[in-house]
């Protein structure tokens, strides 16, 4: 592999980190086509592994933003967090589907805290 390609890959990884994984923005910054990026991803296992590591950075960032919303007492953020992270404590979303005689469906949704 040429030195030029290695430099472009390093630049691409840095651009992906700065763009939180948004491929189009990173490709534009580096000046490569998206198809080249995806070819690198497919053919270069080391490059693919480094890209996958960057995905965790983006998730960490998003999770930190969610936690800020929770600290601000944002009800939607709190409910989302409990539905995803609170399952082991019994916070689940239950969907019940019932049909009546006419054949229409009634969907009942409720959030259940099985601990209380």
Query: How big is the CA angle at 89 (ends 56 and 71), to the nearest 5 degrees?
Result: 60
Q: What is the mean pLDDT of residues 40-58?
A: 93
Please state whether 33 falls in left (phi above 0), alpha (psi between -120 and 50) or beta.
Answer: beta
**Which residues have a Cβ under 8 Å from the Cβ of 71 and sit 6 or more positions away?**
none
Q: What predicted TM-score, i.e. pTM, was given to this entire model?
A: 0.61
**Average pLDDT of the chain to the nearest whole number:** 84
Domain locations along the chain: 3-89
Q: What is the mean pLDDT of residues 28-34?
A: 96
pLDDT top residue among 1 and 6: 6
Q: What is the spatial distance between Cα 6 and Cα 29, in angstroms, rounded to a whole number?
A: 16
């Amino acid at each position: 592999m040429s030195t030029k390609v290695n430099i472009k890959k390093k630049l691409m990884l840095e651009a992906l980190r700065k763009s939180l994984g948004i491929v189009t923005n990173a490709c534009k910054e580096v000046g490569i086509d998206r198809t080249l990026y995806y070819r690198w991803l497919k053919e270069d296992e080391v490059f693919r592994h480094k890209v996958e590591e960057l995905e965790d950075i983006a998730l960490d960032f998003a999770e930190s933003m969610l936690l800020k919303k929770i600290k601000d007492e944002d009800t939607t953020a709190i409910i989302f967090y409990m539905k995803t992270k609170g399952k082991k404590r019994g916070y689940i979303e239950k969907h019940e589907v019932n049909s009546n005689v006419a054949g229409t469906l009634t969907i009942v949704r409720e959030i259940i805290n099985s601990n209380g």
